[in-house]
Structure 1
Amino acid sequence: MTPSAPGTVGTKDTRLIVVRGNSASGKSSIAAGLREKFGRNLAIVGQDNLRRIVLRERDRPGGANIGLIDLTTRYALDNGFHVVIEGILYADRYGTMLHDLVRAHRGISRCYYVDVPYAETVRRHATKADAEYLQHVTPDHLSDWFREKDLLPDALETVIDAASTLDDTVQQILHESGLDQVLPIDR
């Protein structure tokens, strides 16, 4: 597929979904659930993977991962993939990049903020299977990272509260993005 025109990204048929929220709010589970329900041709652009694994970079203003998330998303959309960007993605650090992507995307874009109270993030965090991760990331870390309702400006996001089950959230996003009406492509 040829790249999109300057200032635009993707096609009228591609979907861009952004899932943001605090640590342990369920963002990665939502992204995995979307892929499981939809199938192939859905790229997951995970902030943690690109920032921590690929770049081994701390989350800081102006970090290189911000541009890498943008480039990866644009590349996938321009090649006909639907994209789910997921991560904490603090509004003050990632907001401009996310706004620019949504504005440039020619298809349907939907943004979601998973709003889970701090006590629930601690409870969910404790259920993670990676014992080494649990030793290195403590409730004190979660407290330092936690931002109450860190919403993007301009009412860009739909807020998903803690009462929404994983399946309900996945179904809501599939429906609102129109992915429930799109056939996956077996690549």
Structure 2
Amino acid sequence: MLAEPTGSPDTILVCIRGNSGSGKSSIARELRRRHGRGCALVEQDYLRRILLRERDKPGGAAPALIGQTVRFALDHGYHVVMEGIMHTSLYRGMLTALRDDHRGRSLFCYLDVSLAETLRRHLTRPQATEFTAEHMSGWYAAHDVLGWPDELVLPETTSLDEAVEAIVAASGLPQTGCDDDPRPNIPFP
């Protein structure tokens, strides 16, 4: 199968991986907020759990849908911040293809957070009532890095601001300012 190039030399792809409760969503949303318009946010949970209502399993459709969504955004000139648990055993192929096929810069980050810390953080999230510590323990995979030489691994002691700054510095994702338009679905004249 031939690789399909995606994006342009100007597009930037940032992938943030880590266990449930590690801070992926908060970091991804802050990166996008600081960039403003022109940056797509691709959330594994939304595509897999909400759109497909699929369990994370070998042979599932979620990796392909996530990959296609990222490619679509890159091909239309958007920078992309994608985030999710994306266990290496299930997502390595899709992530490798994105890395190899992207014409622009790509940064893959892993939030290396212990089970004890993810459980502590989970108690502060709105999802704290959706699933239990027992569920999270079952999903937990210690140090599930891709093992790529340029993978950015951030320890649990990294604050949200420190993580955002490290990712911006490593990826080159422009921080053009917040888009605080209270009418996000109304086009500008």
Structures share fold, TM-score greater than 0.5: yes
TM-score by length of 2: 0.89
The answer as to 2:12 corresponding to 1:15 is yes
Q: What pairs up with 1:123-162 in 2 under 5 angstroms?
A: 123-128=120-125, 130=126, 133-162=127-156
The equivalent of 1:96 in structure 2 is: 93
Task: Pick which of 153-162 and 69-78 moved more.
Answer: 153-162
Deviations 1:84-111 (A, max 9, x none): 1100000010011001001000000000
Alpha-carbon contact 1:41-1:184 (below 8 Å) kept? no
Q: Which runs of 5+ in 1 are unaligned?
A: 1-5
Matched residue, 2:75:
78
* Alignment length (residue pairs): 180
CA RMSD in angstroms, aligned pairs only: 2.2
Give the TM-score normalised by structure 1.
0.90
Distance 1:108 1:29 in 2: 22
Secondary structure of the residue that 1:99 maps to in structure 2? helix
Aligned-pair CA distance for 1:158? 1.1
CA contact (8 A) 1:44 1:85 kept: yes
**Which of structure 1's runs of 4+ aligned residues deviate more than 4 A?**
181-187
How has the CA–CA distance of structure 1 residues 167 and 183 changed in structure 2, closer, same or farther, with 3 Å as cutoff? closer
CA contact under 8 A between 2:87 and 2:144: conserved in structure 1? yes
Asked if residue 51 in structure 1 is aligned to residue 45 in structure 2, the reply is no
Distance 2:36 2:175 in 1: 13
Q: Secondary structure at the match of 2:66?
A: helix
Q: Is the 8 A contact 1:115 1:160 kept in 2?
A: yes
What amino acid is the match of 2:124? T
The 8 Å contact of residues 19 and 85 in structure 2, kept in 1 or not, is answered as yes
Structure 1 counterpart of 2:83, one-letter code? E
Q: Would the aligned equivalents of 1:51 and 1:57 in 2 still touch at CA under 8 Å?
A: yes
| Structure 2 stretches lacking a partner, 5+ long | 180-186
Query: Displacement, 1:183?
Result: 8.7
Residue 105 (1) aligns with residue 102 (2)? yes
1:66 aligns with 2:60: no
CA distance in 2, matches of 1:173, 1:24: 19
Match for 1:165 among 159, 163, 181? Answer: 159
- 2:34–2:176 contact (8 Å) kept in structure 1: no
